Amino acid sequence: MRAVLESRHLDVEFTVAPGEVVAILGPNGAGKSTVLHVIAGLVRPDAGRVRVGDRTLTDTSDGTRIDTYDRRVGLLMQDPLLFPHLSVGANVAFGARSGKRLARKASRVAVDHWLGEVEASDLGDRKPRQLSGGQAQRVALARALAAEPDVLLLDEPLTGLDVAVAAAMRKVLRRVLARQGRSSILVTHELLDVVTLADRVIVLESGRIVESGPTAHVLGAPRSGFAARFAGINLVSGRAGPGTTLATGWEQVWHGSVDEGFAGAVQLGDPVAATFHPSAVAVYRDEPHGSPRNTVEVVIAELDSRGPAIRVRAEDQPDGSPGLSADITAESAADLRLGPGERVFFTVKAQEVSIHPAR
């Protein structure tokens, strides 16, 4: 898609592959929601084009503009926007009939299927006023998916939910987002949403794309100011090992704890990501021994001043992911006499490492 809106200082262009989940990040007012509204047909750009597969939804050069209800684009926002006078089942049936023009009997089958997919089968007879915030969002997701959209747009759908409910909703989203080659775009301010749901990240600032790339690369080595503030973490990718461990492809084993929202959801061999803050990392010249901890030998790539701290960044990980970082005091850096090219040991306690399902 390409969209230019002069009044909102927006000028962006990007593509999303079938089955891919792209997270759009940026400060308030950067244009994130506007991008979604252009794709959904709620906002007409001054110039640009929106294509989904072989279908052109918007093209300002020839005046093409498909109506919102014919775009096969689903939009899920912070407010579920369920029809208050309809039951949960009727809300989902509305989505099914609007998407494929299904007969009543066929729409009932779709309702049962999608309420089951979002773990809300027991809610079919309730009215929206009888639902909790998390239940309402599940129903809104079922309604959006029942229309079988080619593209699913998610505009901060987990904002306002409590931690446990957001974690459960995140688990549902992981299961259904990339089904049947559907492309998805996620706008969020939550780091965990990005780590667990997104294949790729786009960063917007002042209506322009300032950074784009695979999730691990953008979070691990951010080039924009916003991405650096947003991430602020180390990230290691691998597969779930026995217990609460992560095994990398280069024979490292990381010990940590599985995020409580995914307890029981991570199976042996599943793709996972371990995250931990640079301030949790200690640096040693010689391999330390003693209390249980994660210890890895690294080669220093660079040192950088971060206010009162010194950030020690290691060379890229063997899979090409950005190198790990440690934040230490200037006094420690001076005592260790660190420099680029030198081998040191990074250690971090297991309780500081959080392991999440990853895409």
Distances (CA, A) of 311 to 42, 292, 307, 326: 45, 24, 10, 6
Q: Does 344 have pLDDT greater than 70?
A: yes
pLDDT at residue number 16: 96
Encoded amino acid at 199, one letter:
D
pLDDT at residue number 319: 86
Range list for CATH 3.40.50.300 in the chain: 1-62+151-157+175-231
Superfamily of domain 1-62+151-157+175-231: P-loop containing nucleotide triphosphate hydrolases (3.40.50.300)
Place of tokens 């503030």: 229
pLDDT at residue number 356: 81
Distances (CA, A) of 144 to 34, 91, 111: 19, 10, 11
Encode pLDDT of 193-229 as tens digits.
Answer: 998 899 999 999 999 999 999 998 888 767 777 887 7
Task: Report the percent of the chain where pLDDT is more than 90.
Answer: 60
Q: Does 101 have pLDDT greater than 70?
A: no
Element (H, E) at 304: strand 294-306
pLDDT at residue number 59: 97
Range list for CATH 2.40.50.100 in the chain: 234-357
Reduced to 3 states (helix: H, G, I; strand: E, B; else coil), residue 357 is: strand
pLDDT at residue number 192: 85
pLDDT at residue number 307: 77
Sheet holding 2-5, edge to edge: 10-13, 2-5, 47-52, 55-59, 64-65
pLDDT at residue number 105: 66
Encode pLDDT of 301-323 as tens digits.
Answer: 999 887 788 999 999 899 888 88
Q: Does 231 have pLDDT greater than 90?
A: no
Task: Report the percent of the chain where pLDDT is more than 70.
Answer: 94
Question: What's the CATH class of domain 234-357?
Answer: mainly beta
- Is 303 buried (19+), middle (13-18) or exposed (0-12) by CB count in 10 A? middle
The structure's pTM equals 0.77
